[in-house]
Structure 1
Amino acid sequence: MNLYFRFIWLFLWRIGHCKKIGFIDSSRINYRVLPLDCDINLHLTNSRYPAFFDLARTYLIAEIGLMKPFIKNKWFPIVNAAEFTYIRDIKPFEKFTIETKIVGWDEKYFYIEHRILTDRGLHCIAHVRGVFMCRGKQVPIETLITAAGYTNDAPEMPAEVIKWKQFLQLKKQRNI
């Protein structure tokens, strides 16, 4: 339930006061682990990570200057796939930062990387593959890139994302 309050806070305050960053720059947003974010092991529960990443991607959209076009054009993001690597736990009341950035795209998908950091170091790395939809149809990648004012080439995709893409394709082929 408390992520609803964080979502409302994100829209009412943080988005209105965020800085502008480049399309492939890293966005950073800070949170604190509250008691309701924890599981019986007294650390941030694994189910909260994707929810926090949703908030971080929303903040990224605002920082790269796409929030107004998203609202105006009724675009909405859809996560197609995600993979997480948990490195160490995050304790109750501990502050953490989520770094989010677009690491590449292909003809259909954007690939986004999330990193959760505290003063103790790196806690989680996640990759998300997603599309943006409008009225049941995919918004072309080029449309989004143009709306953001990005004119350079796509960044070189990290090796782990390339392997992950291959793995996802293999899963799809084996299960059709």
Structure 2
Amino acid sequence: MNLYFRLFWLFIWRVRHCNSIDFLGTSRISYRALPLDCDINCHVTNSRYPALMDLARTYMLAEMGLLKRFIKLKWLPIVNAAEFTYIRDIKPLTKFEIESKLVGWDDKYFYIEQRFVSDNILHCIVHVRGVFVCKGKQVPIDTMVKEVNFEGPRPELPPEVVKWKAFLQLKKERNI
């Protein structure tokens, strides 16, 4: 992550004044596309999206009320895979939101969908697969779910995530 001022602002101000969402709720954080976020094509550069997504996922944990608890437990989030679909570019100085939502989990990973939206226009949709680690070992998904006191049924993964999972497994099998 290379957005230190935005990270500082996130921890000093935004986390302290954030909304509250449930474990499967949608988190929304707004940003403006600054000139340094943009490339020579006068739109947000592809490398900026993952950095902004890191901030948005941190904010999502804060809105869920889990950030302080996970820091205390020394759980570190690790992205295992991500797939991006760029739909429309984000021009300089455009105000946009990143919508982040936990869409489900399996026996090993959790899956988050993140959308970049401005004025009801979808710019980019991203699926992220990740885990939490503690002292170099993966925190079991069941442990994470128990820690957040989630007692509902496991949500069914969206069809595009199911197909993406199969694609990731195929890549792994073909490249062993």
Range moving further from structure 2, 164-173 or 142-151: 142-151
CA distance in 1, matches of 2:121, 2:72: 39
Quote the offset at 1:131 in angstroms. Answer: 0.3
Contact 1:86 1:125 in 2 (8 A): yes
Q: In the alignment, which residue of structure 1 is the partner of 2:127? A: 127
> How many pairs does the alignment contain?
176
Partner of 1:173, secondary structure, is helix
Q: Hey, which bits of structure 1, 4+ residues long, moved more than 6 A?
A: none
**Matched-pair identity in %:** 68
The alignment's C-alpha RMSD in Å is 1.2
Partner of 1:68, secondary structure, is helix
Once the two structures are superposed, the pairs formed by residues 26-175 of structure 1 within 5 Å of their partners are 26-119=26-119, 121-175=121-175
CA distance in 2, matches of 1:76, 1:133: 5
Gaps of 5+ in 1: none
Q: Deviation digits for residues 88-130 of structure 1, max 9, x if unmatched? A: 0001000000000000100100000000100160000000000
Gaps of 5+ in 2: none
Q: In the alignment, which residue of structure 2 is the partner of 1:16? A: 16
Contact 1:2 1:36 in 2 (8 A): no
Return the TM-score normalized by structure 1. Answer: 0.97
Return the TM-score normalized by structure 2. Answer: 0.97
